A and B are shown apart, each in its own frame.
Chain A
Amino acid sequence: MESSLMVTGQWALGTGSGSTQTLSGIFQPEVNLSFNHGWHLTTSLRLRSEARNGMQPGDIERGAYSPYSRPALLHESTELELRELFLQGQLGEILFTLGKQQVVWGKADGLKVLDIVDPQSFREFILEDFDDSRIPLWTLNIERQIGNWDLQLLWIPDPTFHAIPKRGATFAFTSPELVPTAPPGVTVKLNDPRRPNRPLKDSDAGLRVATFWRGWDITFNYLYQYANLPVLRQNVALVEGKPEVIVTPGYERTHVLGTTFSTALGDWVLRGEVGYFSRTFFIGKDPTRHHGVVKSPHLNYVLGLDWNGPADILISGQLIQSWMLKHAQRGTGNRLDSTLTLLMRRLFLYDTLTAEVLVIANFNHGDGIVRPKLRYQWLDHLDIWLGADVFFGDREGVFGQFGNNGRVLLGFESAF
């Protein structure tokens, strides 16, 4: 048996408000039990406690979680979540991983194209590490190597979706790219989400085949899933003579076909991924037509180039584009959405000090985020960091909507 404990603390000061944005403590114990024939059981819990004036667990729409993946609210500021509980082992040539686990696909950094098998919590938008914000699902994960091909089959009977902050929460969505907007004076009522509720029929399933061919890492991916973002259908009604917009979130099926690739060319690494989504619902221009949503297949892709220079320098750029394939009256009018990311990182002091800046910029809205960070491994068991998250640009953009949520942060992570 092996056990460990990770303790993380973080304080973020909102630069717009001048007050504490988050002050949290996280305890993450993990136990690994080993059995005969190489089988083992991994269990990991996360206890997160937040200061009263920080972001509370109740600020998240908990209806996105299935009953068996929903974190338990121990107190208004404390939640307990089962992060992992899986049994892993091999029978013949087949490797089984059964239980609550994270499954990660794709090659993109900082933003996601095919890393969509598991949903994520947007409690801190995309500022949390993906390992922390990703919501592990109850999954049957079967892997087998056949010749030079690695096959992975997934069955996910866990209808849990992206956890979105409630209205009024620090990182609540307000961009018209993500949520419908109502004219001034019109009230908006949000219904409970309509969730898929047939345990077997509403399961997600996926297949990935991967190979290494002439220096290229290549995967082909297929996922049949309920898209993780809710479709926000609108109904306009007159209540006591006043117009009211009633929004009912629901979840819709999509087929996802994708591929990823990467290779090294001298100092450079070229990587990319493409995902075709058969049905994606966007917010429409007219809230009275088709319940305010338009449907289209769409293509998401990323092309990244990493340069590993001398003295432990990494410069990495990515172009990410999302292309709505059918002409439809999307509310924002953009069929093609383009985002550029640039990461500059250098390691110092025998890899104990990491300095980096990540910039994400969206062309359509001219908005984005700048994330400088210094992380120092003080001791074997103690890391500390100092960073900032600065949003800029159009307040109607996905990043610009959080223009008031810039912050500086200080944190530590101790592991035993």
Chain B
Amino acid sequence: MNTLLALLAVTLLMFTDGASGTELPSGDEIARRINARDEGIAVSRKVTMEMTETSGKSRTRETQGFRKYYGREKRTVIFYLSPRSIRGTAFLTYDYPEPGRDDDQWLYLPALRKVRRISASDRGDYFLGTDFTYEDIKLETRVSLKDYRRKTVGEDEVDGVHCLLLESRPVSPEIAEELGYGKVLQCVDDRIWMVRRSQMWDLKGQPLKTIHFRDIRQVQGIWTPHLIEVVNHKTGHQTRFHFANVDYQSGVDDRIFTQNALKRGWRR
């Protein structure tokens, strides 16, 4: 009898909670579930950034990143460790939950030995020579609820995994201009509610770039992509972020999210 009840419960769950039922969840529901996925309060990780030109010439940057939530406010800092020519460069962001409030951002340039305040409104600009925009970096594996209207447009498969197709369009031409995207189509793994592939189109409807989230594994119980690849279809330029030493449990000192910490740098 107990077995029968358990089977019945599992069957009900399949039809009500998952996406395997006949009716696909709405776009807003998918977005809500993506953003509800556990990201941990704080994380530290090594990120190796590899940028490759169409000619095959590549540049590699080794960085150490930290991210921590303070309620709904998110603070992120990235320290560049190599190559020597840019070692010491560091980037700090305070991302506020209040709508309409710009992020506060600072950049430390070792050649100037000064922390510079930088404006945050150009979120569609490309982040320090990569194919990611500042907004892509800020969102990581989440999606923006306020910038897009979205709908579920079907199902697909990425890397052998079933996913739901989520189409998002900017809520206004101004927002589209800010973000640099006219449309985004994301393939969302409905088992773990993580985006596995994002395709972006520019404001004229031309294919702009594709981002792949790969090597997704659980670290300390949290689903984590260990490789993010982006290809810019217009330029042929590619960027790969390799993640290593991902740690959600050791905690991150609040003092690392300060301008003084940017100046001092981070040492292995």
Contact = CB atoms under 8 A, between A and B. Distances in A.
A210 B85 contact: no
A130 B59 CA distance: 27
B85 A268 contact: no
B83 A352 contact: no
Nearest to A132: B111
Given A266-B121, A308-B122, A415 B85 contact: yes
Contact of B113 (A6, A102, A145, A215): A102
A240 interface: no
A351 B128 contact: yes
B264 A88 contact: yes
A266 B51 CA distance: 29
A242 interface: no
Contacts of A34: 267-268
A104 B114 contact: yes
B237 interface: yes
Interface in B220-268: 237, 255, 258-260, 264, 267-268
Contacts of A379: 57, 59
Contacts of B102: 264, 266
B112 interface: yes
Contacts of A106: 114
The B interface is mostly helix, strand or loop, or mixed, namely loop
Contact of B122 (A32, A131, A310): A310
A416 B85 CA distance: 8
Contact of A267 (B51, B115, B116, B119): B119
B176 interface: no
B59 A264 contact: no
A131 B111 contact: yes
A4 B81 CA distance: 12
The A interface is mostly helix, strand or loop, or mixed, namely strand
Given A102-B113, A131-B111, A150 B258 contact: yes
A413 B86 CA distance: 12
A385 to B, nearest CB: 12
A34 B265 CA distance: 14
A262 B117 contact: yes
Contact of B83 (A32, A271, A310, A380): A380
Contact of B259 (A217, A350, A381): A217
Contact of A269 (B51, B83, B117): B117
A95 interface: yes
A6 B84 CA distance: 8
Nearest to A40: B267
A212 interface: yes
A312 interface: yes
A263 B117 contact: yes
A77 interface: no
A63 to B, nearest CB: 27
Contacts of A309: 122
A5 B125 CA distance: 33
A350 B120 contact: no
A269 B59 CA distance: 30
Contacts of A109: 112
Contacts of B106: 217
Interface of A: 2, 4-6, 32, 34, 38, 40, 88, 95, 102, 104, 106-107, 109, 129-131, 143, 145, 150, 210, 212, 215, 217, 262-269, 271, 306, 308-312, 350-352, 377, 379-381, 383, 413, 415-416
16 contacts: A4-B87, A5-B84, A40-B267, A104-B112, A129-B111, A131-B111, A131-B112, A145-B260, A264-B104, A264-B105, A264-B117, A265-B119, A266-B119, A352-B59, A380-B60, A415-B84
